[in-house]
Amino acid sequence: MHFRASEVAEAVGGELIGPDVQIDGASIDSRSIRPGQLFVPVVAERDGHDFIPAALESGAAAYFTTQDEPVGGTAIRVPDTALALADLGRAVRSRIPDRVVGVTGSVGKTSTKDLLAGVLGTTYRTAASEKSFNNELGLPITLAGADDDVEAVVLEMGARGIGHIDLLCSIARPTVGVITRVEGVHLELFGDIESVARAKGELVECLPADGIAVLNADHRYVAAMADRTSARVLRYGLSPDADVYASDIVVDDELRASFRLHTPWGSADVRLGARGEHQVPNALAAAAAGGGLGVSVQDIAAGMSSAQLSGLRMELARSSSGVVVLNDAYNANPTSMSAALKSLAALPASRRVAVLGTMAELGADSPEQHLAIALEARDLGVEVVAVAEEAYGDTARHVAGVDDAVSLLSDVGDGDAVLVKGSRVAALERVAQALLD
């Protein structure tokens, strides 16, 4: 989105210092900033102000600063750079038509966001959150990065406490809210699953009366949120009782699901580009939101078929030695871990191995949750290699790190399949890369 620096200063209540340049988008990372963008130095473990010169050298048109003495170029002095970025997001939102979709949930929100972007992109000029840019920094950056003629925006919304999604809604003012599932993740932060549900439900509470709440009918905490909104409710799920549902689900040897899609706007055959049977509910959520915004059922099917998921999510590749590698290493919780194990078990293979890292932020039940996953893997006939996580128990083989895991897998070969999955802190994509190299 293009702005003059003076317009940005006015929108955020800042002071313009230097030439009134044109700005196109924003970034908080001086290493990846593009020419013309606004650099927003975030003050956290490191002070982003230290990287303003590097951002200017890389082509930043202007920057926020809280310092009395700017370092040159065009500066916009503000009391707080993060709050100013949020205000910039609010200003951008005022230029966007009322096709703004917020997507949240304990599991599946990034995949649902990607699928919905594919659906809406068939009909509207669409912008969507990159990767998992789902917090108070990533969301306004997504808005600021939209094209001037954007017609629809899909925004992933994460929550690490009560009130977080309410804050994101104050910036984005969504007209459609999608909630995937409520599960017992991030319990170290929330305490209990009821608090998770309360936080996620803030999305539907903020919707306007003429908006649309897209709710998972198969999950009771989500289905119950219909009572928390004045918006129109569209329910999706695997049961014919839902407004949008799937029948005749078949998963091929590449883990791609095909099914018959049923909606209030008609039916169509769908073959997903995303892998895993667990993507079917995410696709139904995307179909409901897209249909509610006027996308034809034929275009919904086409958009879901061509949609590409963000990286490190159910990526399937084969090594030169014939090992099938299923790289789902972006993140992990008990629900997504179970789904990935079932996908691994569905692959044609003579031997199946899961390289598993820790599942972070599970709270007091973390040991039991890890052990349950290891036992599920055993029941599915999957060998477990646990990387730096003793809680997977005696049925797993344990290694201290990535290099040890790769060494232990030296005997996998043609016809074998390996799943790699763990929370982001484990960075287990390095195992997948080593196997493919």
Q: Are residues 202 and 236 in the same domain?
A: yes
pLDDT at 186 over 90: no
12 carries a ligand binding annotation? no
- Amino acid 131: pLDDT: 79
Q: Are residues 258 and 365 in the same domain?
A: no
How far, CA to CA in Å, does 206 sit from each of 237, 259, 321? 23, 33, 53
Cα within 13 Å of Cα(20), Cβ side: 8
Count structural domains, the chain. Answer: 3
Is residue 254, in this structure, part of any structural domain at all? yes
- Amino acid 308: pLDDT: 86
Cβ-contact 146, 153 below 8 angstroms: yes
401 carries a ligand binding annotation? no
Per-residue pLDDT reduced to its tens digit, 341-350: 999 999 999 9
Closest CA to 170 of 210, 139, 129: 139
Q: Are residues 285 and 147 in the same domain?
A: yes
Interval 396-424 mean pLDDT: 97
Q: Are residues 196 and 339 in the same domain?
A: no
Last residue of a domain, one of 51, 78, 105: 78
> 89 pLDDT band (50/70/90 cuts)?
very high
105 carries a ligand binding annotation? yes
Q: Are residues 64 and 151 in the same domain?
A: no
Q: Are residues 333 and 395 in the same domain?
A: yes
Average pLDDT, the chain: 97
> 437 pLDDT band (50/70/90 cuts)?
confident
User: For tokens 């340049």, what's the residue?
Assistant: 21
pLDDT at 424 over 90: yes
Is beta strand 152-156 parallel, antiparallel or unpaired with respect to 126-128?
Answer: parallel
Interval 173-178 mean pLDDT: 98
The percent of residues in the chain predicted with pLDDT above 90, rounded, is 95
Cβ-contact 287, 266 below 8 angstroms: no
Which CATH number belongs to the domain containing residue 32 in this structure?
Answer: 3.40.1390.10
Per-residue pLDDT reduced to its tens digit, 74-86: 999 999 999 999 9
Which CATH number belongs to the domain containing residue 328 in this structure?
Answer: 3.90.190.20
How far, CA to CA in Å, does 82 sit from each of 51, 139, 164? 15, 12, 14
How far, CA to CA in Å, does 129 sit from each of 112, 318, 357? 11, 29, 26
Is residue 141, in this structure, part of any structural domain at all? yes
Per-residue pLDDT reduced to its tens digit, 93-134: 999 999 999 999 999 999 999 999 999 999 999 999 997 799
Interval 158-164 mean pLDDT: 94
- Amino acid 353: pLDDT: 98
- Amino acid 185: pLDDT: 81
Q: Are residues 404 and 271 in the same domain?
A: no
Torsion of CA 224, 229, 233, 236, to 10 degrees: -40
Last residue of a domain, one of 256, 273, 306: 306
Cβ-contact 5, 19 below 8 angstroms: yes
**Polymer length in residues for the chain:** 437
Per-residue pLDDT reduced to its tens digit, 231-269: 999 999 999 999 999 999 999 999 999 999 999 999 999
Per-residue pLDDT reduced to its tens digit, 274-319: 999 999 999 999 999 999 999 999 999 999 999 988 999 999 999 9
Q: Are residues 148 and 29 in the same domain?
A: no
The percent of residues in the chain predicted with pLDDT above 70, rounded, is 100
How far, CA to CA in Å, does 148 sit from each of 11, 34, 143, 294, 407? 17, 17, 10, 21, 51
Q: Are residues 137 and 9 in the same domain?
A: no
Cβ-contact 70, 5 below 8 angstroms: no
3-state secondary structure of 4: strand
Which CATH number belongs to the domain containing residue 275 in this structure?
Answer: 3.40.1190.10
Q: Domain containing 163: what range?
A: 96-306
110 carries a ligand binding annotation? yes
Is residue 276, in this structure, part of any structural domain at all? yes
Closest CA to 23 of 165, 184, 141, 180: 141
Least confident of 11-25, 213-227, 307-321: 307-321
Is residue 90, in this structure, part of any structural domain at all? no
